[in-house]
Structure 1
Amino acid sequence: MLSIPEIATQLIDKSLTNANENNCRTIFLVGSKYVGKTTLLYAFLEKNEQPRETLVVEYSFGRKSNQRQGIDKTLCHIWEYGGKLDTLNNVLASIPVRGKYFYCVMIDLSKIKSIWETLELCVETMNQIYSGSESSPELIIIGGKYDNFKNYDSEIKKVVCVTLRSFALLTNAHLTFYSSKEPQLLRRAKDMLFSIGFGNGIPVKDKNTNYAKPLFIPKGSDTWESIGVPSSTMDQVKIRHLSKIPPNVPSTENISTDMQQHAHPEAALDSIVVSKYNELRNMDSLDVSIDYLLSNNK
């Protein structure tokens, strides 16, 4: 049976036979759990539904008519990953890419001890998958839950902002802060997604580097002098960050002694898979349309 990415690839190939760089985009959104990735996408796509948890990967799309008599349309393919980051490479390698490609990493600014781990793992996976590839994506770093982060101690905020700016400078990434609870930041994030999905990229006019306010720094517009630290390597940035904000130490209190092996790293998926296999065993034949499969993935 074809996977959802494989089905989507077939449909995309069929509907975009004559597609080119100008009328097609791909956005992949990954990052911290429960940071608001789905909420942001729903706002961008103007969905009025209540966001639900993304277990592994979900596909959606947006479409916009161009000015030429409304005939040409720009199609934006959007993939959201909600699984464990240590299995991200298995999914990312199977995602079909069409047109300009944007890889968005959303980090949870309210959990400062996990910021580096999330950034490093997401970007390293991206580099491994697309190393030497013609479809290498443009990187965007989104700091979510700014409404919590803005109340942190000023020195902590400065350390985090210096780290994120340094990381973005070294990886040639865009950097922006976001909160679904602050209308101005929600509007700016929606405008950013609209610009990369249907426009000409991220505008530079709203640039802000003051760590006392929500950052917005387009790629190529920052410097080491502006950040206030010497030119650094990624290892130096990591050491500097972790020396001031140590990572979380994994707890062993809740480690189960049950040695049962699971087919999936997400517990919720195991119960779903068991249920589906039981349904299949009780069926004499299987005749499910692609439209039905996709409708269950909305």
Structure 2
Amino acid sequence: MPKTSDTLWDLAVAEVRRRESGGGEGEEEEEGEEAGPGERAVLFLGSKGGGKTTIILRCLDRDEPPKPTLALEYTFGRRARGHNTPKDIAHFWELGGGASLSDLIQIPVTVDNIRTLSVVLVLDLSKPGVLWPTMERLLQAARAQVDRASAELLKVGEARAGQIPSRRGLRTLAKDHPDRELINPFPVPLLIIGSKFDIFQDFDSEKRKVICKTLRFVSHYYGASLIFTSWKSESLMSKTRSSVNHLAFRTERGKTVSTDHNKPLIIPAGMDSLSQIGSPPMTDVGLGSLHAKNPLDLWKKVYEKLFPAESAGDPGDVRDPARDPQYSEAEIDSMRAQKDQELEQYKRNASKSWKALELDSRRH
């Protein structure tokens, strides 16, 4: 508690020391940032055709038809907190192609924005066989790049304790939460969106239950927020928009919580628990015979017993978008083929040259 004799300077010094010591965990400013206007970055990842672009357009109040995202696209939005106040700026990055272009994550995740970065993972609920592989690959790629940027930040000495992403992840759960030592929070704020709920709600009840429990566990394990949505429901899109804007513009977080698998899930980070989620659904072989390395791996094995992993089967599986048949151009493709041949010939010649140099160096 501040003393009545404290000057404004004393209060400012105390606040700076509190932030540098990593104090205030579990408070609303969970990322250890200042409350004033600023710039933030939001990276959208997820299923191909899952609705990422539609969600971004809704968040930015843009009434235009969404177009397929080929690789990596950027846009931004501004929002004022009140009259005559500076506007916050949010940088939106969207990775297309499902999990096939995950290497491009290194472009938007950098040392410059790592302290204000959030990730939104959009998963297509109508394709449960593709859901886990997409989620796993993208989150692994994103986490690896966040770790690299964080290491670089520490190397240049610009990070304080509360700004290091690995420390920020711990703030998703209250200090007295029973699962605090049992989860592995994502290093930056993470929002998981299950899209196409209008199709998902017609699934068999048991299938819905398994998918809901699995996504609840994954979200809780990573300290993420979880919400189901559908572009056909204005109410769900409004709640989704609110969740994204909380990350992008630090607007107030929604208070709604819904864990009923017969309804759209809405669970803010830190509002679920392992005891409420329960154990993985039993399989024909039983949990005891599944050799899992950790709780996340156990849920994966159970989920894939019920929903075997499928290939996304989309053009994104071709690593080079230039080979996508929907963008074929006869003359350009012919020229590209010629250049590819020239490149391969150059590689062969260069390889011979290097081998010759190596042999020559050994002789001497």
TM-score bracket for this pair, using the shorter chain length: 0.7 to 0.9
Looking at structure 2, the residues matched to 273 and 24 of structure 1 have their Cα atoms a distance apart, in angstroms, of: 44
1:46 aligns with 2:97: no
Q: Which runs of 5 or more structure 2 residues have no equivalent in the other structure? A: 1-32, 151-163, 166-186, 281-293, 314-318, 337-364
Structure 2 SS opposite 1:29: strand
Match of 1:162 in 2: 213
For residues 54-101 of structure 1, give each alpha carbon's deviation from its aligned partner in whole angstroms, at most 9, with x where no partner exists. Answer: 10111111101233x524110000011113513312x11121553521
Aligned length in residues: 247
Name which of 32, 35, 48 aligns with 2:47: 32
- Give the TM-score normalised by the residue count of structure 1: 0.74
Which amino acid in 2 is paired with 1:190?
R
Name which of 56, 76, 95 aligns with 2:90: 76
Contact 2:47 2:97 in 1 (8 A): no
Name which of 175, 179, 200 aligns with 2:230: 179
Identity percentage over the alignment? 28
Q: Which runs of 5 or more structure 1 residues have no equivalent in the other structure? A: 1-18, 252-260, 279-298
Match of 1:254 in 2: none
Contact 2:190 2:225 in 1 (8 A): yes
Looking at structure 2, the residues matched to 189 and 47 of structure 1 have their Cα atoms a distance apart, in angstroms, of: 15
Looking at structure 2, the residues matched to 36 and 162 of structure 1 have their Cα atoms a distance apart, in angstroms, of: 22
TM-aligned CA distance change 1:41 to 1:201, over 3 Å: same
Match of 1:229 in 2: 279
Which amino acid in 1 is paired with 2:271?
S
Which amino acid in 1 is paired with 2:147?
S
For residues 144-164 of structure 1, give each alpha carbon's deviation from its aligned partner in whole angstroms, at most 9, with x where no partner exists. Answer: 000000111110000001110
TM-aligned CA distance change 1:269 to 1:126, over 3 Å: farther
Match of 1:242 in 2: 304
- CA-CA distance at 1:200 after TM superposition: 4.5
- CA-CA distance at 1:173 after TM superposition: 1.1
Looking at structure 2, the residues matched to 123 and 170 of structure 1 have their Cα atoms a distance apart, in angstroms, of: 13
Following TM superposition, where does structure 1 have runs of at least 4 consecutive aligned residues deviating by more than 6 angstroms?
A: none
Match of 2:139 in 1: 123
Contact 1:263 1:270 in 2 (8 A): no
TM-aligned CA distance change 1:53 to 1:227, over 3 Å: same
Q: Which has the higher helix share?
A: 2
Looking at structure 1, the residues matched to 330 and 34 of structure 2 have their Cα atoms a distance apart, in angstroms, of: 38
Match of 1:210 in 2: 260
Which amino acid in 1 is paired with 2:258?
N
CA-based RMSD of the aligned residues comes to: 3.0
Looking at structure 2, the residues matched to 88 and 270 of structure 1 have their Cα atoms a distance apart, in angstroms, of: 23
Match of 2:119 in 1: 103
- Give the TM-score normalised by the residue count of structure 2: 0.61
Looking at structure 2, the residues matched to 41 and 80 of structure 1 have their Cα atoms a distance apart, in angstroms, of: 9
